[in-house]
Amino acid sequence: MRIVVTGGAGFIGGHLVERLQAIRRGQVLVLDNLHRECFSGWSLPDVTFARIDIRNRLAVREAMAGCDVVFHLAAQSNVMGAVADARYAFDTNVAGTFNVLEGAKAAGAKRFVFTSSREIYGEPARLPVVESSRPNPKNAYGVSKLAGEVYCGQAAVEGLETVILRLANVYGPRDRDRVIPLFVHAAQSGSPLVIYGGDQVLDFVWINTVVDAMLKAAFGAWVRDPVNIGSGQGTSIRELAESIVQLAGSNSPIQVIPKREAEVTRFVADVTVARKCLGLPPHAKPLAHLSHLISAPRGAIASAASQNCA
């Protein structure tokens, strides 16, 4: 089996590549432009790397020839980054997704797993959010991911088995520039933990759970409709900050400043479909793995926060 992972040098993609190599499901080809590299395990057996930008339609199509399964993670994956550069977000997340879908169809691939986002829902009317809720994205990132979903739906009509996974707030090793790694770095360096707004309630899900979901989506029975991937539980941003300060043994203050209008402030996923269709187990404590990110010496965490990426 030939497996393509776009964005395999990123946070989630790197963890997925490691797992694919460990379970030996086939030859893995990583396509990434190294825009935000945080994984470089290209010496792994059965893993090869090609530095390709998914905006390059011809290069993508050529590289994907003969692939059987595609995991599409390459994206502008940061909300504020997409707000700052909406053109890059469109070119990568919309046109790039179209290019990868076209490459998969031309290659005769059987299954295509697309990592979408909870951002497609915008500010929900009620919690938890079910997959049938009306999409109402609040920012350029959410709009771009929703457009990718639409193109996946069209590809499914044309015969490609597409699976859409709407990810909540994923956390784990090698992440950066998102709330948990930023808080950890601040706590271990004695800096303030900065909260925008202060009333956010979000759904945090451990990286291994997300990788489990992706593998089941790729190699299990075809799940035709979008699936929320989260813990199914809400965590207040204040509670998160306080937990990190306590676990780090830090004296860092928690600083609340005005909210950023582009950011969604409330989200908890309804994970009924994920449990039923993908067999994902319930999550007793969404932040149970938080201590794994704080157990390293302060210098090591600070170094990782400056070198690794989302």
Tens-level pLDDT at each residue, the chain (310 residues) = 999 999 999 999 999 999 999 999 899 999 999 987 677 666 788 899 999 999 999 999 999 999 999 999 999 988 988 999 999 999 999 999 999 999 999 999 999 999 999 999 999 999 999 999 999 999 999 999 999 999 999 999 999 999 999 999 999 999 988 999 999 999 999 999 999 998 999 999 999 999 999 999 999 999 999 999 999 999 999 999 999 999 999 999 999 999 999 999 999 999 999 999 999 988 778 999 999 898 644 433 333 333 333 2
Cβ neighbours for 41, distance < 8 A, ≥ 6 positions apart: 14, 17, 18, 21, 47
Q: What is the CATH architecture of 2-170+206-229?
A: 3-Layer(aba) Sandwich (3.40)
Pairwise CA distance, residues 154 & 103, whole Å: 14
| Catalytic residue of the set 88, 121, 141, 151 | 141
CA–CA gap between residue 140 and residue 69 (Å, rounded): 28
Whether 141 is catalytic is: yes
Amino acid at 11: F
| Start-end of CATH 3.40.50.720 domains in the chain | 2-170+206-229
Residue ranges, CATH 3.90.25.10, the chain: 171-202+233-265+284-307
Q: Would you tell me which CATH number, out of the four given (3.90.25.10, 3.60.20.10, 3.40.50.970, 3.40.50.10860), belongs to the domain 171-202+233-265+284-307?
A: 3.90.25.10
